[in-house]
Amino acid sequence: MPIDTSMTPVDEWEEALSDVGELTPEVVQQIVSIHGDRGIRAIEAVSERRVKKYRDFTVVVGHTEEYVVEDDGCTCKDAAYNLEADDPTALCWHALAVRIARTLDAVDRHDMWYSEVREFL
């Protein structure tokens, strides 16, 4: 069987996570070895149920702000200034948290518009 060279390291840990259905020590090690501290922070956010899905956006609740994540893009400064656009493993911890939470079906879903909720924050 030929090796699939089109898979990125992110695809590999995401597939492994999907296969086992939980954050096993092996999958956590994969994530952390690729993403370092960003991976650790993402795993913490998922375990604390800080990934929220609204009708219009997916939001990750940080310690001081909330960040909108769409298609691996994020409104945080890390994504804007520190990540290499041509590196498929370069994701901020908010985007990583969304990927992990979606794979584990651990997204906290809200049947409301985030744009309306945001007005109250």
| Nearest alpha-carbon partner for 18 in 103, 95, 105 | 103
Mean pLDDT rounded to a whole number for the chain: 92
- 4 pLDDT band, cuts 50/70/90, is low
The pLDDT of residue 19: 97
Residue 22 has pLDDT above 60, yes or no: yes
- 1 pLDDT band, cuts 50/70/90, is low
pTM for this model (two decimals):
0.90
The pLDDT of residue 104: 98
pLDDT tens figures, 65-100: 999 999 999 999 999 999 998 888 999 999 999 999
Burial grade of 21 (CB within 10 A; 0-12, 13-18, 19 or more): exposed
Rounded to an integer, the average pLDDT of 18-26 is: 97
The pLDDT of residue 116: 81
According to DSSP, the β-strands at 51-53 and 108-109 are parallel
